[in-house]
Amino acid sequence: MPVPLPDPSSSEPLYSRTTRGIEITVLPEFVPERSDEKRGQYFWSYTVEIANGGDHAVQVTHRHWKITDALGRLEEVRGPGVVGEQPVLKPGEVFRYTSGCPLATPSGFMVGSYRVVGEDGGVFDADIPMFSLDSPSVARVLN
């Protein structure tokens, strides 16, 4: 059973976005034991929660990620499902998974979308909020 996401009032960075009743919340976390700063290898885990706040069942059929490192290099990832599944969510249900992202720089960001198919056959892309990947060894700069 996955660990619940922390309370939004906690100090953990939580990112959330709702599209047509589908709320997607992301919690990124730097993983020092899988990172090697001397070799330019940085790794983050991120936990995603997809909640169906709508009135009808939906199925998550595809994912599209845009991953950008601190040098502006973009990698796009597209494919069926999420973590090998195409979950069906009835109203009020939640699907949660954890995955990971390596970068060659100590910071970057991710953003994307999930293709969602409603039980009525309607298809739309639910936005995944943009979230930052920041190594604790790098000071954040706000513009």
In this predicted structure, the answer to whether residue 8 has a pLDDT above a threshold of 50 is no
In sequence order, what are the beta bridge partners of 115?
62, 125
* pLDDT value of residue 2: 43
Structural domain spans, the chain: 15-128
Q: Tokens for 108?
A: 């970057």
pLDDT, tens digit (0-9, with 9 covering 90-100), for 54-68: 999 999 999 999 999
Q: From 2.60.40.1470, 3.40.50.1820, 3.40.1210.10, 3.60.21.10, which CATH number describes the 15-128 domain?
A: 2.60.40.1470
Contact 127/19 with Cβ under 8 angstroms?
A: yes
Interior CA angle at 90 toward 8 and 81, to 5°? 80
Q: How far is CA 95 from the centre of its chain?
A: 12
